[in-house]
Amino acid sequence: MAVFKKLSQLIPFTKSELAVISFLLISAATGTLLRSTETADLKPLPARPVYSESEKLFLKALNSPEADSEPESKQVSKAPAAKLAPGEKIDINQAGIADLIKLPGIGGVLAKKILEFRENIGYFRSIQDLLKVKGIGNSKFDKIKDYIYIKN
């Protein structure tokens, strides 16, 4: 209220006239603010996103059937693996992915790592060399050591 008293001394309006003018100014400012936020929310969204040429090429390549498939040499079978018969052993220097997957605890990814490791070193000299393959620790080795051998 002290503000109205000071304003009435500076401006030749009565206290009630200043209150009405203040109310009108505040109402006008509030209405303008509400109107601007109301219309800002009603902007229509684009029907489809706009992509640059490079983005279109990327999306086309991403959605192509070739993007989902790996080269045949890199594909790993998703079918359930057959298990080894009792007493059957696998020569780890001759085994392929299908043979290695038969080993307990060895899946497609680990079988692929074993083959890559074998290709890098030439051949396994002992079955303990499998411990050098990333993903094969002592517990996994203990599970498979009775099912593998190295042919001389």
Per-residue pLDDT tens over the stretch 9-67: 777 778 788 889 999 999 999 998 888 776 665 666 666 666 677 777 777 777 776 54
Residue 138 is assigned to a structural domain of this protein: yes
Residue 41 is assigned to a structural domain of this protein: no
Residue 120 is assigned to a structural domain of this protein: yes
Residue 99 is assigned to a structural domain of this protein: yes
∠ Cα 65 69 73 (to 5°)? 145
Residue 69 is assigned to a structural domain of this protein: no
pTM above 0.75, yes or no: no
Residue 134 is assigned to a structural domain of this protein: yes
Range of the domain at 145: 83-149
pLDDT in tens, 126-136: 889 889 999 99
CB atoms within 10 A of CB 118: 19
Give me the CATH number covering residue 110: 1.10.150.320
- 87 and 30 in a common domain: no
Number of domains present in the structure of the chain: 2
